[in-house]
Amino acid sequence: MLFAGVSWSAYGLTVEVLDDAGAPAAPTRHYDVVRTADLVADLLALTADGQQLKVVVDSTNGLLDGSMSVAGLEVFRADPHVLGLRPLFGSVDARQLAELARRPGKAELARLSVEDGSLRGRIGQMLEGWHLIQERMDTMAEAGNLRRHGSRNEATVALTFDDGPHPLYTGQVLDVLDRYDVRATFFCTGLSALSMPEEIGRIADGGHTVGNHTWSHPYLPDLTPAELREQVERTSDALRRVTGTRPTLMRPPYGSLAPRILDMWKAFDETLALWDVEVDDWAMPGAETITQRALSQTQPGSVILMHDAGGDRSQTVAALPALIEGLLERGLRPVTFDELHS
């Protein structure tokens, strides 16, 4: 049995692999996010002779589990109560994560899947958090600090894409949008922006809006105020260096809001950008299903949540032409999130 830990830092990803005795079973490897496919392939290669492999990430790393799970790797999430002290900016080191997998019974780890993604075991907790903050969210929406949709009296909708950029799928999404002369909004992670500035530049140059989606796609309730500040500020700085302007929109990963997150949000200038149409494309239900879900839920002013990274997004790309044509046939014009009238 082999045990792998995947950590993140300001600059990229690190993989450590241990054997049953806790000795290194492979060289330490470092990757930037543009090489996520190489990271997954290298882990898969360890299982080529039938060797079993357990991979552990922590809850502040939501960039990889989709790609690894789709590839058939056994992936687990380590939460703060089993990790101890974390760096202000970065996960615990990869060896510590691998050790958590090697010592069953010492720590409770959540087994992740394509169907549940990084939220395995937390969906009820997240929904409870949303329930507790509905009135506060309404107040923030009235003040313009949070938006879930635009005006229901305007025949416009917003297509939004999270988790990118991706070296393959972001360009394919942009090609479809260009074909239909449609503008959209891309909520980008800092680690991806650092690795792929050319893709960020193409998004901005095409007239699309670039928004903040944190640095490493963490589950926000697990962060301290200082950690949240680092995630948001560093991502905004990275995006500004490429586009020349600081993002005015921030989308919380998973929509993971809770009372303490709204308390912390008072320190930021970015508008919280949510959505009212969710197609669950990350679960890969099929292109036809993605299109049907979007068109059946969308109304004037809707914000449609999709993804251009974080896993295999070929179904999202395949669904996009029929989705755009369906919206146009209904007289709904796709615009950027900030062009929606509230």
74 and 48, same domain (yes or no): yes
Residues 211 and 180: beta-carbon distance below 8 Å: no
137 and 238, same domain (yes or no): yes
Q: How many domains does the chain have?
A: 2
Q: What is the pLDDT of residue 107?
A: 65
- Answer yes or no: is 193 within a domain: yes
153 and 241, same domain (yes or no): yes
200 and 290, same domain (yes or no): yes
- Answer yes or no: is 86 within a domain: yes
Q: Which of 111, 132, 155 is the C-terminal boundary of a domain? A: 111
CATH number at residue 216: 3.20.20.370
75 and 47, same domain (yes or no): yes
Residue with tokens 């095409």: 206
- Answer yes or no: is 116 within a domain: no
187 and 160, same domain (yes or no): yes
Phi, psi for residue 203 in degrees, rounded to 5: -60, -50
Distance (Å, whole) CA 8 – CA 271: 27
Q: What is the pLDDT of residue 123?
A: 86
Q: Which domain holds residue 322?
A: 123-339
DSSP string, 205-268: HTT-EEEE--SS---GGGS-HHHHHHHHHHHHHHHHHHHSS---EE--GGG---HHHHHHHTT-
pLDDT averaged per 10 residues in sequence order, the chain, 342 residues: 96 96 96 95 95 95 93 94 90 95 78 87 87 92 94 97 97 98 98 96 98 97 95 97 96 93 90 97 96 98 97 96 98 97 74
Q: Which pLDDT tens digit goes with each residue over 202-253? A: 999 999 999 999 999 999 999 999 999 999 999 999 999 999 999 999 999 9
Residue 10's contacts (CB-CB under 8 Å, 6 or more residues apart) are 89, 90, 215, 234
Maximum Cα–Cα distance across the chain:
64
- Answer yes or no: is 117 within a domain: no
What residues are annotated to the active site? 162, 307
Q: What is the pLDDT of residue 239?
A: 97
